[in-house]
């Protein structure tokens, strides 16, 4: 198809293009050699940079001494009415007076050394019970049941009426964290953001001698984000802060019961599905001792506060046989606050 002259001319053209390309590359290399400056030596990290951590497993145990609390009508047992000197009628709530109670937590994790990553599992358990006991001292004119608004007892002192109830909270919290440590060798400050997942079960169980009860159970599962910040003072001492927030897809079940002649009333609210927030903040100080083999023991103590939003549904209902029905369902928050102490051993 093509003659010999075509192939000869094509060969000559290819040789010329190749020669020009080689000359261009050579010229570019000379130009680059004239303008190239080697990078400056590495400088210390002044800002937040990945900070290698010692590889290995660690375990820890936490003790808390926390005061539980609940918003809304969660701590209320009843209402007493007293006539005042000016003739006015004073209605007085006598809620549970919650005391601090002990709780326990545990953690186990692994630091992936040079990558500065870590994987950690945490567990927290809190369980308390408070006894509420109110009498008709002071000659109240009437007694009213907050959770059963139609139950009113006139002149309770004449029958020596006693309000006897018990309120128990139970919390089980499970967290799985994946974290990464940043730090600055210049400032002695480290920062560890983390992402993870939480499952929590939480219950409100009020029982009273009537007999009767007011119950609400919470279960939630969802993602969470958090961070730890640490400032090293020196000689093993430091200041530490923590904040995390979990967004939980939750189910809340609630029920109540009142039974004394002629009343035998039971109420149940349909399972409520919602999204709840659980936020925890801690501020404290720590001391770390490093052994000769590289393992370490750290003691941390401080104050913490925790809140679960929209954790409980508490039923108010008319219990008299002629008008028995649910009046309202009150949604309350639950919180814990108090000191904590954590001991951690890193292999």
pLDDT tens, 189-216? 999 999 999 999 999 999 999 899 999 9
Determine, yes or no, domain membership for 93: yes
Do residue 165 and residue 233 come from a single domain?
Answer: yes
Q: What is the chain's alpha carbon radius of gyration, rounded to the nearest angstrom?
A: 34
The answer to whether residue 40 scores a pLDDT higher than 50 is: no
List of E strands, the chain: 49-50, 56-70, 78-83, 89-93, 101-111, 117-135, 142-145, 152-154, 162-180, 182-184, 189-208, 212-234, 237-260, 263-290, 296-318, 325-346
**Average pLDDT score over residue span 219-234:** 96
Q: What is the number of other CB atoms lying within 10 angstroms of the CB of residue 197?
A: 15
Do residue 70 and residue 160 come from a single domain?
Answer: yes
Do residue 26 and residue 57 come from a single domain?
Answer: no
> Cα 120 vs. chain centroid, distance in angstroms?
15
Do residue 236 and residue 124 come from a single domain?
Answer: yes
**Average pLDDT score over residue span 299-320:** 97
Do residue 110 and residue 3 come from a single domain?
Answer: no
Reported confidence tier of residue 188, pLDDT bands at 50, 70, 90? confident
DSSP string, 307-326: EEEEEEEEEEEE-SGGG-EE
What is the strand order of the sheet 78-83 is part of?
89-93, 78-83, 142-145, 152-154
- Cβ contacts of 126 within 8 Å, gap of 6 or more: 64, 66, 68, 101, 103, 169, 170, 171, 336
Determine, yes or no, domain membership for 42: no
As a whole number, the mean pLDDT across the chain is: 88
Q: What is the pLDDT of residue 83?
A: 95
The answer to whether residue 321 scores a pLDDT higher than 80 is: yes
**pLDDT tens for each residue of 261-293:** 889 999 999 999 999 999 999 999 999 999 999
Mapping DSSP to helix (H, G, I), strand (E, B) and coil, where does residue 13 land? helix
**Average pLDDT score over residue span 244-249:** 98
The answer to whether residue 4 scores a pLDDT higher than 90 is: no
Do residue 126 and residue 93 come from a single domain?
Answer: yes
Do residue 194 and residue 325 come from a single domain?
Answer: yes
Reported confidence tier of residue 44, pLDDT bands at 50, 70, 90? low
Q: What is the pLDDT of residue 77?
A: 78
Pair of tokens at residue 224: 């969470």
The residue that leads in pLDDT, 2 or 255, is: 255
Mapping DSSP to helix (H, G, I), strand (E, B) and coil, where does residue 55 land? coil
The residue that leads in pLDDT, 210 or 11, is: 210
| Region class of 73: left (phi > 0), else alpha (psi between -120 and 50), else beta | alpha
Q: What is the pLDDT of residue 281?
A: 98
Q: Which residues of 280-292 are buried (b: 16+ CB within 10 A; e: fewer)?
A: bbbebebebeeee
Do residue 245 and residue 306 come from a single domain?
Answer: yes
Distance between CA atoms of residues 268 and 329, nearest Å: 10
Q: What is the pLDDT of residue 20?
A: 40
Q: What is the pLDDT of residue 51?
A: 73
Determine, yes or no, domain membership for 158: yes
**pLDDT tens for each residue of 63-113:** 999 999 999 999 987 999 999 999 999 999 989 999 899 999 999 999 998
Q: What is the pLDDT of residue 36?
A: 36
| Domain containing residue 258: CATH number | 2.40.128.90
Kindly report whether the global pTM for this prediction surpasses the value 0.85.
no
Determine, yes or no, domain membership for 202: yes
**pLDDT tens for each residue of 105-146:** 999 999 998 899 999 999 999 999 999 999 999 999 999 999
Q: How many domains are there within the chain?
A: 2
Please return the burial class of 112, using the count of CB atoms within 10 Å of its CB with bins 0-12, 13-18 and 19+: middle
Determine, yes or no, domain membership for 43: no
Do residue 227 and residue 295 come from a single domain?
Answer: yes
The answer to whether residue 28 scores a pLDDT higher than 80 is: no
User: Please, are residues 151 and 319 in contact by the beta-carbon 8 Å criterion?
Assistant: yes
Question: What proportion of the chain, given as a percentage, has pLDDT over 90?
Answer: 79
Determine, yes or no, domain membership for 308: yes
Q: What is the pLDDT of residue 34?
A: 39
Residue 202 belongs to what domain range?
A: 50-346
Determine, yes or no, domain membership for 135: yes
Do residue 31 and residue 154 come from a single domain?
Answer: no
Do residue 211 and residue 285 come from a single domain?
Answer: yes
Determine, yes or no, domain membership for 82: yes
Do residue 11 and residue 58 come from a single domain?
Answer: no
The answer to whether residue 39 scores a pLDDT higher than 50 is: no
């Amino acid at each position: 198809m093509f003659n010999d002259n075509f192939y000869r001319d094509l060969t000559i053209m290819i040789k010329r293009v190749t020669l020009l390309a080689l000359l261009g590359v050579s010229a570019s290399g000379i130009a680059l050699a004239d303008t190239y400056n080697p990078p400056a030596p590495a400088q210390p990290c002044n800002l937040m940079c990945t900070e290698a951590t010692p590889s290995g497993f660690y375990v820890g145990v936490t003790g808390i001494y926390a005061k539980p609390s609940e918003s809304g009508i969660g701590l209320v047992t009843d209402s007493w009415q007293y006539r005042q000197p000016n003739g006015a009628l004073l209605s007085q709530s006598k809620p549970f007076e919650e005391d601090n109670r002990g709780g326990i937590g545990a953690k186990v994790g692994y630091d992936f050394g040079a990558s500065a990553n870590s994987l950690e599992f945490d567990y927290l358990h809190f369980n308390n019970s408070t006894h509420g006991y109110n009498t008709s001292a002071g000659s109240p004119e009437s007694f009213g049941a907050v959770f059963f608004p139609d139950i009113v007892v006139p002149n309770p002192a004449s029958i020596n009426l006693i309000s006897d109830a018990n309120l128990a909270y139970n919390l089980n919290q499970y967290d799985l964290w994946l974290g990464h440590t940043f730090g600055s060798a210049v400032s002695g400050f480290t920062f560890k953001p983390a992402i993870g997942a939480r499952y929590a079960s939480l219950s409100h169980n009020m029982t009273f001698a009537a007999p009767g009860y007011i119950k609400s159970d919470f279960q939630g599962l969802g993602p969470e984000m958090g961070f730890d910040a640490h400032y090293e003072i020196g000689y093993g001492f430091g200041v530490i802060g923590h904040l995390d927030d979990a967004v939980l897809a939750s189910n809340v079940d609630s029920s109540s019961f009142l039974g004394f002649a002629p009343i035998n009333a039971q109420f149940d609210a349909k399972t409520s599905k919602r999204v709840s927030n659980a936020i925890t903040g801690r501020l404290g100080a720590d001391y770390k001792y490093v052994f000769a083999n590289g393992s370490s023991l750290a003691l941390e103590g401080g104050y913490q506060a925790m809140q679960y939003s929209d954790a409980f549904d508490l039923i108010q209902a008319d219990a008299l046989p002629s008008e028995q029905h649910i009046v309202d369902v009150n949604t309350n928050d639950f919180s814990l606050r108090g000191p904590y102490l954590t001991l951690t051993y890193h292999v």
